[in-house]
Structure 1
Amino acid sequence: MTNFLKLLKDGNKPSLTAAIVNTIIAILKAGAFFLTGNVAMFAEMMHSIGDAANQFFVYIGSALSKKAPTPKFPNGFGRLVNLVCLGAVIIVGILSYETILEGWHHIQHPAASTGVAITLTVLAISIILEFSVLYKAGKEVLHEAGVKGTLLSPLTTSFTHLNQAKPATKLVFMEDLVATSGGILAFVAVLISHFTGFLQAEGIASIMIGLMMFYVVGKVFLDNARGALGETDEQMLNHIAHIVSENPHVKDIQELEVVKEGEFLHVKLVAEIDPSLSFAKVDDIHDVLKDLIMSQQGVTDVIIAFDEDDGVREWTHHKDPRTILKTHD
């Protein structure tokens, strides 16, 4: 139990914050729904319940993924966060279906809801809270990508660096982006329904919110399925190829693998060097390259081997400047 609590301290903080906030929001929305019977509020309640459950699972998964390798699991637990995310999206998928079903039922059988003031107040509070979580998640995306930005960057630049974020942070950002958008959509639908009498607006909003939730399900599922299988990090692969090639003793790269498991990167390098170098010199080159690669963000282990230079230059991937990252100190 002590080890488990220590691991939880290293869990993904944005997912924990989002889970707590969404639990509070879900309770508020549930109360508002039971008082008013508003179908748009039902959709938002289901959305918040799904987000809260998801993010609690992701927080625990991200913490357990940092557990040290054991004799039984020598490769560590890095992929555990991907597996947890895959399980979490099943919950969101079920809630998405129920949300769409309820919206369709309301369109076919529209009914006026009561307590408009309560509904709008709860939705307004929820939008503000969801937006604050989205902003913090955007800041974390930029932090994990090693990018500094302006006050608005978490809401703008973060989109272009989303693929460099950790799986848990990416999930929180996407879910709260949809949650904030869904809250605004529900707010507008309630206003339209109340002031125009077009009661189907709430059902339409419910279906749209459900479809947005399904989009998150699909996107998160595909991202984490690749992570669970062990995906090549193309950007980091080309970056490492670039910095390794800058070493004057490396004549060519025969083989380079950069496999992403959860939040961690595993590197395997076979470099070609001058065969006349002494063993001591080769050992020095090995240590320099290992320290250099291990200093890169996310790299947890590296295997380096050498082969004699055959005089034929084969590795050219690193020449594309678009794939080269800034060196992390």
Structure 2
Amino acid sequence: MKELFGLMKFGTKSALWAAIINTIVAILKTAAYLITGNVAMFAEMMHSFGDAANQFFVFIGSALSKKEPTERFPGGFGRLVNLVLLGAVLIVGVLAYETIVEGIHHISNATHSEDWFWLNMGVLGASALLEMAVLYKAMKEITEHLPKEQTKGFKLIPESYKNVKDAKPASKLVFLEDNVAVGGALLAMLAIVVATYTPFHSATGYASIVIGIALVFVVGRIFMDNAAGALGVADVKMQARMGARILQHPHINDIQNLDVIKEGESLHVELKVEVDPHMTIKEADEIRNYIDKKIKEAVENVTDVIIEFDDDDDVDTWSQILNNNPK
């Protein structure tokens, strides 16, 4: 148990903040539902409670993935976060289904009402602001590897969208979910205004369906990314980046093979380099230390590096690998 609590400090902070904020938002929506009896607010309440539970499990999974390898699991626990996120998308999938069904129900049973208008607007407005705070935290995590001047001020927003595909799995989930949450809250507010002050009383139903479809997109994106992560997906961009650094050594003639495999938030590296066959063991050991240092300079979250040596075959293998890799 002590080890479990010790690992919690390594969990993804945006997921923890998202879980806390969504719990607060869910409580606000629960109070609003109990006062107004608004079915749409009930759906939003369930949505927020589901998000809170989902993101709490994501935080736990990202923390446990940092556990050191054991005799029973010598490969470590890096891919555990991918497995947790695959489970998390099931929750989001159920929420998406319920949201769409609730929207269809509202369209077929739309009625005009101005009761508790400002309470509903106030709760949704407060929810949007709180979700924006979580979204900002996720944006900071996604862009933490970039120079500060590149993410200063409003530059953070476009840079986070540009780099989201390379983000940690947990940060990506929070980022995508909170985009839907913020957009959904704003859309719901607009729909309430339209339904209250125009003849288009079914606007909230259509808004609910749009939010549900957006959640389906999140489910699909997260499922595909984490299914690949659970299987072990190659990071082609990182391979090229590491290869360029390794070949800076004057006694490394070529790279015969270089695999960079994503394991959750960590990377596993295996490579075979070509050197002079008459090289001494001491010289080879110095090269091994050089490679290990260069790789860890290129990226922080490398769990292990396996290096093999082979004699130079006078064939430029690394250039061929780069040309054959998809961009």
TM-score by length of 2: 0.94
Instruction: Determine helix, strand or coil for the equivalent of 2:207.
Output: helix
Which residue is equivalent to 1:254?
256
Deviation at 1:277, TM superposition (A): 1.6
Which residue is equivalent to 1:312?
315
> Structure 1 stretches of 5 or more lacking a match?
324-329
2:19 is aligned with 1:19: yes
Which shows bigger deviation, 284-293 or 76-85? 284-293
Which residue is equivalent to 1:82?
82
Q: Percent identity?
A: 50
Q: 1:203 aligns with which of 195, 202, 205?
A: 205
Q: Is the 8 A contact 1:272 1:307 kept in 2?
A: yes
Which shows bigger deviation, 93-102 or 31-40? 31-40
Q: Distance in 1 between matches of 2:323 and 2:154?
A: 33
Q: Is the 8 A contact 1:127 1:183 kept in 2?
A: yes
* 1:22 counterpart letter in structure 2: N
Alpha carbons of structure 1 residues 25 and 62: separation in structure 2 relative to 1, 3 Å:
same
Measured on the aligned residues, the alpha-carbon RMSD in Å equals 1.8
Alpha carbons of structure 1 residues 47 and 56: separation in structure 2 relative to 1, 3 Å:
same
Q: Distance in 1 between matches of 2:145 and 2:23?
A: 26
Q: Distance in 1 between matches of 2:74 and 2:147?
A: 30
Q: Distance in 2 between matches of 1:218 and 1:45?
A: 23
Alignment of 1:110-259 (within 5 A): 110-113=110-113, 114-144=115-145, 148-259=150-261
* 2:112 counterpart letter in structure 1: A
Instruction: Determine helix, strand or coil for the equivalent of 1:303.
Output: strand
Which residue is equivalent to 1:274?
276
Instruction: Determine helix, strand or coil for the equivalent of 2:153.
Output: coil
Q: Distance in 1 between matches of 2:43 and 2:184?
A: 9
Q: Is the 8 A contact 1:239 1:318 kept in 2?
A: no
Which residue is equivalent to 2:61?
61
Alpha carbons of structure 1 residues 145 and 268: separation in structure 2 relative to 1, 3 Å:
farther
Deviations 1:33-72 (A, max 9, x none): 3332434434432332222111100000011101110000
Q: Is the 8 A contact 1:40 1:190 kept in 2?
A: no
TM-score by length of 1: 0.93
Alpha carbons of structure 1 residues 211 and 92: separation in structure 2 relative to 1, 3 Å:
same
Q: Distance in 1 between matches of 2:236 and 2:248?
A: 19
Deviations 1:110-150 (A, max 9, x none): 12343111100001101111111111111111004566411
Matched residue count: 322
Which residue is equivalent to 1:327?
none
Q: Is the 8 A contact 1:110 1:199 kept in 2?
A: yes
Deviations 1:196-249 (A, max 9, x none): 132100111111111111111111111111111111011111111111111111
Deviation at 1:319, TM superposition (A): 8.1
Q: Distance in 1 between matches of 2:223 and 2:243?
A: 30
Q: Is the 8 A contact 1:233 1:258 kept in 2?
A: yes
Q: Distance in 2 between matches of 1:154 and 1:46?
A: 31
Deviation at 1:291, TM superposition (A): 1.9
* 1:50 counterpart letter in structure 2: G
Q: Distance in 2 between matches of 1:136 and 1:21?
A: 12
Instruction: Determine helix, strand or coil for the equivalent of 1:152.
Output: helix
Q: Distance in 2 between matches of 1:154 and 1:18?
A: 19
2:291 is aligned with 1:289: yes
* 1:21 counterpart letter in structure 2: I
Q: Distance in 1 between matches of 2:322 and 2:245?
A: 9
Instruction: Determine helix, strand or coil for the equivalent of 2:270.
Output: strand
Q: Is the 8 A contact 1:44 1:182 kept in 2?
A: no
Q: Is the 8 A contact 1:66 1:77 kept in 2?
A: yes
Which residue is equivalent to 2:99?
99
Alpha carbons of structure 1 residues 144 and 47: separation in structure 2 relative to 1, 3 Å:
farther
Q: Distance in 2 between matches of 1:84 and 1:163?
A: 19
Q: Distance in 2 between matches of 1:134 and 1:248?
A: 46
Deviations 1:302-328 (A, max 9, x none): 0001000011112115589x98xxxxx
Instruction: Determine helix, strand or coil for the equivalent of 1:153.
Output: helix
Alpha carbons of structure 1 residues 18 and 216: separation in structure 2 relative to 1, 3 Å:
same
Q: Distance in 2 between matches of 1:45 and 1:208?
A: 17
